[in-house]
Chain A
Amino acid sequence: MTAFLSRRRSALTPRLCDLGATFAPFGEDSSLVESFSAKTREARQSPSAPPLLLCDLSPLARIGVKGQGTESLLRASALVAPKATNESVVQKDGSLCVRLAEGEVLLLSALASKGVRDFVPLHKNLESASSASNKRRQVFPVAYQDSLCWLALAGDQASDLLATLCAVDLRDGIFAPGALAQTSLARLSALVLRDPARRKGVPLFHLLADSASALYLWDCLLDAMSVPELDGSVCGRQDLLRFLATPPSRKRQRPL
């Protein structure tokens, strides 16, 4: 299946096609890059597996909820929200709940999601709570599915790469798993989330920014990771999941 036949298309689709991406159907009306052509892999990867991977996860489900009734809505949907702002927690199904403000959360589906039945109870509850007929509704949806693109950056040197684009200290030991920075990346407003599920092993960062600037951010990241010491590469979701399951061992060298 080509990406252009699906109704919903990631803002990065043209660039991904240029790089030889192989798309697979995702959900009812979308497509997702599962891997890249061998040619691209050979051209961009060193003989050993690359230590730094960038992946477009924009087709995966995400939703925002805000309003005074957010807490009760989450409880009713069997979701657990973090207590403090700028923190996140993993849900039973592997999805993430991120608190953006006191009455505002962002939910990100699990990396391995199949694109159907994501946040079904929440959607149902939200629909009934936010229906126009409900005159005293206390909770409202935020269209993060479309307004934010979603990129994942995985690898030991991810924080080194982000240090070339972002003024927040995102290194190990400082920016803990589960922490969120509402900051700017390459002068673009962005959410930088360190995956709370990966307390050990290779760090994984979720980067969410304005969909309209997705291509700009993608190019900035590719440019930043093109320096020899970072040795970065693009990947599909399957590649990313495989990499996270068995990251290649590569000792990190201290700069001297």
Chain B
Amino acid sequence: MKRIDHSVDNNQRDKSKKWGLWIDRKRELSFRFQGRRYKGFEGDSLASALAASGVSVFSRSFKYRRKRGIFSLNAADTNTLVRVDAMPNLFAERVSLREGLSAQAQQLLRFNPLFVLNFLSRFLPAGFYYRSFFRPRGAWMLWERVFRRVAGIGVLSQRKVAHHALPRYDKAYGFFELVVVGGGLAGMTAATKAARLGVRTLLVEREQRLGGDGFEEEFAPSPSQNTLSQKIPAQKIPAGLPAALTVMTGAQASGLFADRFLAVVEEKKRRLHKIRAQACIVATGAFELPAVFRNNDLPGVMLASAARRLKRRYGVVVGRKPVIFTANAFGYRLALDFLALGIKPVVLDPRPVPHIPDALSIRDHHIVCANGVALIEAVGKGRIEGVKAKIAGSEHVFPCDSLCIAVGFAPAAELLVQGGCELGYDATHHCQRLQSLSEGLHAVGAVAGLFDPAKVRHHAEKTAETVARALKSRRTQKTEARNKARNKPQNKLQNKLQNTLPAAALCDDGAQNWHDPVFSHPRGKEFVDLDEDLQISDLHDSVRDGYDSMQLVKRYTTLGMGVSQGRHSNINGLRIVSRLTEEDPARLGLSTVRPPAAPESFGMLAGRSFQPLRLSPMHRRHTQAGAKTMVAGAWLRPAYYPPSQQPSAKEVRSIVEREALAVRNSVGMIDVTTLGGIDVYGEDAAEFVDRLYCWSYKKQLVGRARYLLMTDEAGVVADDGVCCRFAPDHLYLTTTTGGSDAVYRALLFWRSQWNLKVEVSNSTAAFAGVNVAGPFAREMLEGLCEGVDLSREAFPYMGVREGRVAGCRARLLRVGFVGELGYEIHVPFAEGEALWDALMQHGKRWQMIPFGVEAQRLLRLEKGHIIIGQDTDGLTLPHEAEMGWAVSRKKPFFIGKRPIEIQVERGITKRLTGFTLPARHRDDLPKECNLVMHEGAIDGRVTSIAYSPTLRKIVGLAYASRSRKTLDIQLDSGRSLQATIVPLPFYDPEGARQKI
């Protein structure tokens, strides 16, 4: 057999220049593939331009490294995956050609040493690695590295790129009454019809141009009619579209979720559209199925639809000596296409007797056409050179340069199945067929089993009319419902959209499908799944080992797990397994279809993410002061204020200690804007708070604050804060930084449940807060306050007042979280920075410094105050955290009361305990969460620990059983430290300093 040299630019183009709907032959573009320069035309894809220049090998296969070329040209197989610039795994048929484009194959193309695996395939059955390399124990850890290096497709660039230079991926919401997916004949007909009927419609087409295969079929007449002057350029198709129609080309609908929520990926714009539709018509067509025979993956073997696309769209002729293996009209139509170009194909038909209409269509052309053909193998080195077939019991060899397969179709119903529609196997017609549709989903065209253009058009129009009618009626109902009861919840709209599936008798999908295009060969290499290099023998192994349903076969062999997601392999796999198990294919089931329906880039998946961030109005001042910030809930808070940019761990410790000592000895201030604030107003405000929190608040005096402890319905500590009473019907509650939203939600919920006369308002962002603490706090503030007497008598500990500080209207709370004389000053949010500036300026005389969260944590630990979430967890009861004092026993009710009582009756077995360690362990400090052990068993854990510069020893909190005097703390190293249990608090047990 003589090889044909194709390697000349555009040598494979249709010389008559009659074909090539998508290309502009006047605009030539040059590009590179594997470093070699080629030429193509504007409108070409990379795949078509390479095919036009005779390039037949695009890649090497996944497992055996066999050469691979164009197979489906439908972005549904790995054969055409290439790397363009830094982007791996791009389908060459989806890469629009541009001047200077440079593409690379993803494996070594010419000589690939791993091709040796092709000859060792009998030793490498499906899943050989996880069945063979798990012994001895731990061996897999080593082997895995080897396999991961060898396997895989494409390599992501790990080159560091500046953030601003990264490609920008975006997301957007879209809203339409109707979304039509698929811009072929069926989709365009349905979309234009619906839009003309006034329905707001979006038409999504994954190719860059509308038309699809069916549309070209109809509007680009067969060359035999020689009427190519009527050729319609695809880009002109949208002309005269109705105003209600929006068209999105180059966009792939990759997921269909509940309530017609569609994910549409527009790779060119790098945008993910999240589209909400009231109805969805799916017109995604059908995937052509391959035949399974030996060497069916040789470059030059391709689906007939690929050959037709190449010719019709790009004017590329796949061969001068083609063989067509076909069992349907599409193959015969391809033969006519070849004949129109003056090329005589050989037609091999597996059907035992000629199909009259098909046979008649080529009768006058005197070409070789045989029936009852069984394929034996494709032969050739590097690309196909001939086809060996059995006809009437004897073997024949047909020399060729391409083999086009047309033996059937499978509906491209991924989206419909994701949307809950049922897809089954019709054993009578040997095809997959939709069994039912979900509400609001419709199918038209080939996906619904219709191939005849007249039928497709009629059904698409009827479906669009039905949908438009239903949507209009829905719209009317909605308006009426809104007008009737504007604020009342609407009743569910009764008008369900109708099922529009065509009657089974109308479907002509069965006529396209040959029931058994699987030809096994004793020497194997009949590939069922080209993506995964799966042969018939692999499926055989699976069934032999007992994995005999499609779900199990998939997992055993990885059938359908590749890029094509089983589009070309599932049906043939099903037929093979059915034959092996002698089971009805309909009962074997199909594997589950999940989104995405098409490959998506990592950038698209990551996309533009939103992570709300809250900043206090003083944040700018903190950064100016060089504060190191830390995340607290959604907030950024200053952790500490280092004098240098990159302090060492030891320096950080001394900075924190310095800040803490300033508070103990002089005065410091901390930004507490992040604390939640909730105003509760109304006659029943105190009653409301009384029911929500553990302590008693009904009798709380105006002008006083009281500690708040919240438990949930299970009695678990949920939050804490302070309740300030500014008026009989006005309480101001503070919450923890991370708990404000959850507490506010709980308040709103219980307000709606109890029907008390209260109004709740979230004031978290209404106030900026500063806590001024230290023995000189009063002295320092006296010069700034107006209308508030700060003296001990007039404003005692746990008092609250309203007045002005530095000209700002303020709420003042005399609380002592850090255990010193302290005032929390809450001012309007917009005035926070002005207050901070004034305090910093005024505090210079007292050498006041700002302190961060780390120093605050140390100070409160010295006082034995807990932090919710750090010293408690999702199971901690108040009594376990030594907060029993904040639980009222007299109140008839508060949320969590009964579970707490039950637990207390049963006995509390673990309690939060204070412990100390000598200062010499300062450099080997146990970590928070280190375990507390007792007689070899876990007894509890450390929750807080720090070196106290005031007490000159290590202090900490840990959960442990009560009956001991020491704690055994197990360090990360496994070593144990013995800590001494001491009563809490560690510092100023009488609380004298905060009350001065």
Contacts and interface: CB of A to CB of B under 8 A. Distances in A.
A200 to B, nearest CB: 20
A146 B727 contact: no
Contacts of B729: 135, 137
A12 to B, nearest CB: 11
Residue in A140, A169, A220 with the greatest tally of chain B CB atoms within 10 Å: A140
Given A11-B615, A145-B828, A163-B174, A187 B610 contact: yes
A11 B170 CA distance: 27
Given A11-B617, A140-B759, A140-B761, A147 B766 contact: yes
Nearest to B702: A132
B612 A188 contact: yes
Contacts of A110: none
Interface stretch (B89-97, B356-364, B450-458, B829-837): B829-837
A7 interface: yes
Interface in B735-772: 759, 761-767
Interface in A97-128: 102-103
B353 interface: no
A132 B727 contact: yes
B479 to A, nearest CB: 13
B173 A147 contact: no
A143 B828 contact: yes
A255 B610 contact: no
A231 B800 CA distance: 51
B248 to A, nearest CB: 7
Interface string A136-154: 1100101111111000000
Contact of A9 (B612, B616, B728, B834): B834
Interface string B620-661: 100000000000001100000000000000000000000000
Contact of B620 (A14, A67, A148): A14
B238 interface: yes
Interface residues of B, number: 54
Residue in A66, A85, A211 with the greatest tally of chain B CB atoms within 10 Å: A211
A35 interface: no
B766 A163 contact: no
Nearest to A216: B613
Contacts of A64: 761
A163 to B, nearest CB: 5
Nearest to A210: B765
A50 B433 CA distance: 53
A164 interface: yes
Interface in B833-854: 833-834
B199 to A, nearest CB: 14
Interface in B226-262: 238, 246-249
Interface string A1-12: 000001111110
B486 A146 contact: no
Given A132-B730, A216-B613, A256-B247, A140 B175 contact: no
Interface in A45-90: 58-59, 64, 66-67, 83-85
B170 A7 contact: no
A41 interface: no
A187 B761 contact: no
Nearest to A8: B830
A186 interface: yes
Contact of B486 (A7, A30, A84): A84
Contacts of B486: 83-84
B612 A187 contact: yes
A227 interface: yes
Contacts of A137: 729
A174 B730 CA distance: 41
A31 B171 CA distance: 35
Interface string A160-199: 1001111101010010000000000011100000000000
A187 B613 CA distance: 10
B765 A164 contact: no
Given A8-B831, A132-B727, A254-B246, A143 B763 contact: yes
A85 B767 CA distance: 27
A168 to B, nearest CB: 8
Nearest to B829: A146
A244 interface: no
A9 B766 CA distance: 13
Contact of A212 (B673, B681, B727): B673
A84 B487 contact: yes
Given A7-B834, A8-B831, A142-B761, A167 B173 contact: yes
B681 A140 contact: yes
A146 B828 contact: yes
Nearest to B728: A135
Contacts of A220: 610
A187 to B, nearest CB: 4
Contacts of A187: 610-612
Given A8-B830, A140-B759, A147-B829, A164 B173 contact: yes
Contacts of B794: none
Contact of A210 (B174, B614, B683): B614
Given A140-B761, A147-B762, A213 B831 contact: no
B606 to A, nearest CB: 15
Residue in A165, A210, A224 with the greatest tally of chain B CB atoms within 10 Å: A210
Contact of B829 (A66, A188, A212): A212
B175 A143 contact: no
B807 interface: yes
Nearest to A87: B486
Contacts of B611: 187
Contact of B765 (A67, A84, A147, A160): A147
B274 interface: yes
B808 interface: yes
A215 interface: yes
Contacts of A140: 679, 681-682, 730, 759, 761
Nearest to B273: A163
B992 interface: no
Contacts of A256: 238, 247, 249
A51 to B, nearest CB: 18
A212 B616 contact: yes
B206 interface: no
Interface string B682-715: 1100000000000000000000000000000000
Given A85-B487, A146-B830, A212-B829, A164 B172 contact: yes
Contacts of B612: 186-188, 213, 216
B778 interface: no
A193 to B, nearest CB: 18
A2 B608 CA distance: 35
Contacts of A30: 830
Nearest to B266: A255
Contacts of A169: 173, 175, 276
Given A66-B761, A146-B765, A186-B610, A212 B615 contact: yes
Interface of A: 6-11, 14, 30, 58-59, 64, 66-67, 83-85, 102-103, 132, 135-137, 140, 142-148, 160, 163-167, 169, 171, 174, 186-188, 210-213, 215-216, 220, 223-224, 227, 254-256
19 contacts: A7-B831, A9-B617, A9-B834, A132-B727, A136-B683, A140-B681, A140-B730, A143-B766, A143-B828, A147-B762, A166-B173, A169-B175, A171-B175, A186-B610, A187-B612, A210-B764, A211-B617, A211-B829, A212-B616
10 shortest interchain CB distances as A-B pairs: A143-B766, A169-B175, A212-B614, A147-B766, A132-B727, A146-B829, A140-B681, A8-B830, A187-B610, A186-B610
Given A135-B728, A140-B679, 12 more contacts: A7-B831, A9-B831, A140-B681, A171-B175, A186-B610, A186-B612, A188-B612, A212-B615, A212-B616, A213-B613, A216-B615, A223-B608
